[in-house]
Chain A
Amino acid sequence: MASPSPNDYMESKSIELDQSAIAAFASQFDPQPYHLDASAADQSIFGGLCASGWHIAALATRLVIETLLANGLPFVEMSSVSWLKWSRPTFVNEQISVRVTLGTSDEESPIANTRCQTLEIEVCNGNGAIVATMTAKAAIAIDAALAEST
């Protein structure tokens, strides 16, 4: 696939991840030392306190949904992720945002009155470096009433 020009993708706002946000997710769902304990994190594979990759995936999806809605695409549900790669950690006080490129899919959506949309998603930090890439399929409403109710 050719690399997209800047006009090809939609861009989200940014979310900043401070230590309390990272700890709030990690203490409940991913209580490993590199997400909770700064000195242990320094000695870890990541080399510093950083967010859980699952936290990043959830927040990225939230940003994707907001971005689709803001661009007139009535998101209903994410149904699958064919590929998700975490490229670098998101450290304390870094920001993340997403770039969404619309792919093509001839798959039928299992949900009535929706179509299947492939999404190529890049999650970037405040320096523009990619922290994760994700290819996902989402159901997009093709019926105004369904769009209203979701």
Chain B
Amino acid sequence: MTDLYLRDRWFEDLPVGEFHVFGSHTFSELEIVEFAKNFDPRPESTDPEQARLNHRQGLTASPWLLTAMWMRKMVDYMEVYAQGVNDGRRNGAGVAISDLQWLEPVRPGHTLTYTYEIIAKPGQVIREKWGMIRSRNEAFNQYGNKVMQFDIDILAERRPQESGDPQQ
């Protein structure tokens, strides 16, 4: 919690090529069903009995549960990755994603491990304060098979210009 290296990271401090394995999660049947009921109601995700008869032959997670869990793991990791990001003023925002693919179904009991690599800093500056970070994100299941991938552009706060670093 007192690691100055971690707390002082700004847009300028994030190098292309940086790679993180930032979280993993085992999806339960209840979680798959609850997510689908609330956000993406489809028989293959809400009804285990009916799901046995579909083309996947069993319950599978909504593809958006896999991205939602990516977000949760990323938020949890940001606390470690750059202290102070979570105060609401320094939080950036996702702008756009590209090439999002769901490659294999995720079933109850499957464990996904999420990875993140900075692949570009496209150079746009938004409202002076924000720079753009492009990352490639992948999720692998317990067999090591890639089940999801996407690239995302996220805004990261630039180092303040006039008064130098506000931290002592």
Contacts and interface: CB of A to CB of B under 8 A. Distances in A.
Interface of A: 24-25, 28-34, 37, 40-41, 43-46, 52-55, 57-59, 61-62, 65, 76-86, 111-114, 146, 149-150
A146 B71 CA distance: 33
Given A54-B68, A146-B55, A62 B39 contact: yes
Contact of A44 (B88, B95, B96, B150): B88
Contact of B63 (A25, A52, A78): A78
B39 A149 contact: no
A21 to B, nearest CB: 9
B64 A57 contact: yes
A130 to B, nearest CB: 13
Contacts of B68: 25, 28-30, 54-55, 58
B40 interface: yes
Q: Is the interface of A mostly helix, strand, loop or mixed?
A: mixed
Given A82-B98, A85-B95, A150-B54, 19 more contacts: A28-B72, A29-B71, A30-B68, A30-B72, A31-B72, A40-B87, A43-B89, A45-B92, A58-B62, A61-B40, A62-B39, A62-B40, A76-B55, A81-B150, A82-B100, A83-B97, A83-B98, A85-B96, A150-B43
Contacts, number: 109
Q: Is the interface of B mostly helix, strand, loop or mixed?
A: mixed
15 contacts: A31-B72, A33-B87, A40-B88, A43-B89, A45-B93, A54-B68, A58-B40, A78-B102, A80-B100, A80-B102, A83-B97, A83-B98, A84-B98, A86-B93, A150-B54
Contacts of A32: 75, 86, 88, 91
A149 B53 contact: yes
A29 B87 contact: no
Contacts of B93: 45-46, 53, 86
A28 B93 CA distance: 18
B26 interface: no
B71 A82 contact: no
Given A59-B39, A61-B40, A150-B43, A33 B91 contact: yes
B91 A80 contact: no
A92 B86 CA distance: 21
